[in-house]
Amino acid sequence: MTKGRRILKDQRLLLLIIIVVLSATVGIINPRFVRLNNIMAILQQISVLGVLTMAMSMLLISGGIDLSIGNMMTLSGVVVATLLMRGANLLVAVLAGMGVSTLCGLLNGVIIAKSRTMPLIITLGTGQMFNGISLLIAGGSFLQFENKLNFLRTVKLFDFLPLMVIVMLAIVVLMYVLLNKTRFGRRIVAIGGNERNAYLSGIKVDLYKILTYGISGAIVSVAGLIFAARLNAITANAGAGYELDALVAAVIGGVTFDGGRGTVLGAFLGCLLTGIISNALDILGVDAYVKIVITGAIIVGAVVLSNIEKLRRRT
């Protein structure tokens, strides 16, 4: 393989180049784009998606998928908001939200591992359940909790880096360590890469799958907190659709559907790219509807590009 093709094959490098070129171009057209406060705005905008992308990437790499995480995030947010509105302690509320979301993840994991059914369909179903439960708790109303989560936005490190961005970056680092440095992580990568081999090598495949979905649930609740903090309120339907955005970001980042493949850094860069494109189109004053078309086209382009290696057809 030539060096050029090797670079093309490494999604991370490719993404980095695209991001730099894109940023430079937009920055020349409109210097406002590369100012520190705009960069921070982009990072804040992607902080919810960034966290969700980490959960989704972990699941994809382990050979799974979870389409309920959008509604799962809302449910945990609704639980936190409801408790805060009733005067509960902040820590209690956060832990309760995390607990609920972890249970949701474990539920998905148990059903998928034990029934051997397709995670895609199962999590579509459980996602509806979570959405229904959110509606039962919140009804159709706005849950407002008097700025109790504002600290995620207002507390800033060195006066410019908001806490929610720090939390997102921390989750990215944690996920990197989990998947690359820990025994647990390497085992779920092995399961995603070749489940039969993992089973024959003595790995308790079902247990690991269940735990993976559980951990994903816990991470999703973090996204729920940031989500609620950014809006300063939450409704029962607010998070629907986020699971697909996370899926797209992960796939743009080089994570594949067939498992075992993909990197945490790549997935994060994929997420960052979607954020940059969205922000750049705003700054360039592109019409909102045109923006949707362009965003869709860029997703398609990125995925086609990442599949160039596999174009030769064999039955």
Partner 1 sequence: MSNQSQPLIRMENIVKEFPGVRALGGMTFDVHKGEIHCLVGENGAGKSTLMKILSGAYTPTSGTIYVEGQPYQTLDPELSQQLGIEIVYQENDLVPNMNAVENVFVGKELAKPLGIIDKKGMLRRVRESMREFDISIDPQQKIEDMSVSDQQFVKILKALMNQSKLLILDEPTSMFNVEDAGRVLNLVRTISARGIGIIYISHFLEEVVQIADRITVIRDGEVVRTYDNSKRDVPLSALTLDMVGRPVDTFYQRERFAPGEEKVLEVRKLKLEKHSPPISFSLKRGEILGMFGMVGSGRTEIVRALSGADRFYAGEILLNGKKLHISSPRDAIDAGIAHITEDRQRLGLNLGSSVLENGLMVKLQYMKPSPLYDFKTYAKLVSPVMEGLNVKTPSLMQEVVNLSGGNQQKVVLGKWLISDAQVFVFDEPTRGIDVNAKAEFYRHMTELAKAGKSIIMVSSEMPELISMSDRVLVVREGAVYCELSGGQINEQNIIKLALGVISHD
Residues that bind partner 1 (CB under 8 A): 181-184, 186-187, 189-190, 193-194, 196-198, 200-203, 260-261, 314-315
* Beta bridge pairs of residue 143: 234
Q: Rounded to whole angstroms, what are the CA distances from 219 to 25, 171, 174, 294?
A: 35, 8, 10, 30
**Least distance CB 13 / partner 1 (angstroms):** 17
Nearer to partner 1 by C-beta: 127 or 254?
A: 254
148 vs 204, which CB is nearer to partner 1?
Answer: 204
Taking the complex as a whole, the smallest distance from the CB of residue 253 to partner 1 amounts, in Å, to: 15
Nearest approach in angstroms of CB 3 to partner 1 is: 15
Structure tokens at 167: 């939390």
Q: How far is the CB of 169 from partner 1 (least distance, A)?
A: 20
Asked if 276 and 40 count as a contact pair (C-beta separation under 8 A), the reply is no
List the one residue out of 76, 65, 79 whose CA is nearest residue 108: 65
Q: Smaller CB distance to partner 1: residue 154 or 197?
A: 197
Query: Residue 200 CB, nearest distance to partner 1 (Å)?
Result: 7
Strands of 68-175 (E only): list them. 143-144, 156-157, 161-162
Pick 10 or 282: Cβ nearer partner 1: 10
Report yes or no: 251 and 167 within 8 Å, Cβ to Cβ: no
Bridge partners of 233, per DSSP, are 144
Residue 162, beta-bridge partner list:
156
| Nearest approach, Cβ of residue 64 and partner 1 (Å) | 16
Nearer to partner 1 by Cβ, of 154 and 201: the residue is 201
CB closer to partner 1, 30 vs 194: 194
Give the residue from 261, 215, 266, 306 showing the smallest Cα distance to 61: 261
The nearer residue to partner 1, 232 or 256, going by C-beta atoms, is 256
Burial (CB count <10 Å: 0-12, 13-18, 19+), residue 202: exposed
From the CB of 315, what's the least distance to partner 1, in Å? 5
Q: Which of 114, 130, 110 is nearest to 67 (CA)?
A: 130
